[in-house]
């Protein structure tokens, strides 16, 4: 019973984390690419 609830919460948490981090990953890729192209180094 508790294991099933924990599994559901874990799946929901994983989905939420993925959705929340996607825009930040996109921004990091944009700024990371711009900074590496501009300064010639990668963070």
Indicate yes or no: pTM above 0.75.
no
| Per-residue confidence (pLDDT) for residue 20, from 0 to 100 | 93
Asked if residue 42 lies in contact with residue 32, where contact means CB atoms within 8 angstroms, the answer is: yes
The H or E element spanning position 32 is: helix 2-39
Q: Could you report the per-residue pLDDT of 1-43, keeping only the tens digit for each? A: 899 999 999 999 999 999 999 999 999 888 887 765 555 555 5
| Residues 6+ positions from 41 with CB-CB distance below 8 Å | 35
User: Angle 23-14-29 (CA atoms, 0-180°, nearest 5)?
Assistant: 25
């Amino acid at each position: 019973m508790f294991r099933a609830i924990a599994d559901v919460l874990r799946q929901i948490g994983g989905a939420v984390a993925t959705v929340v981090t996607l825009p930040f990953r996109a921004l990091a890729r944009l700024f990371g690419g711009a900074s590496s192209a501009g300064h010639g180094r990668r963070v």
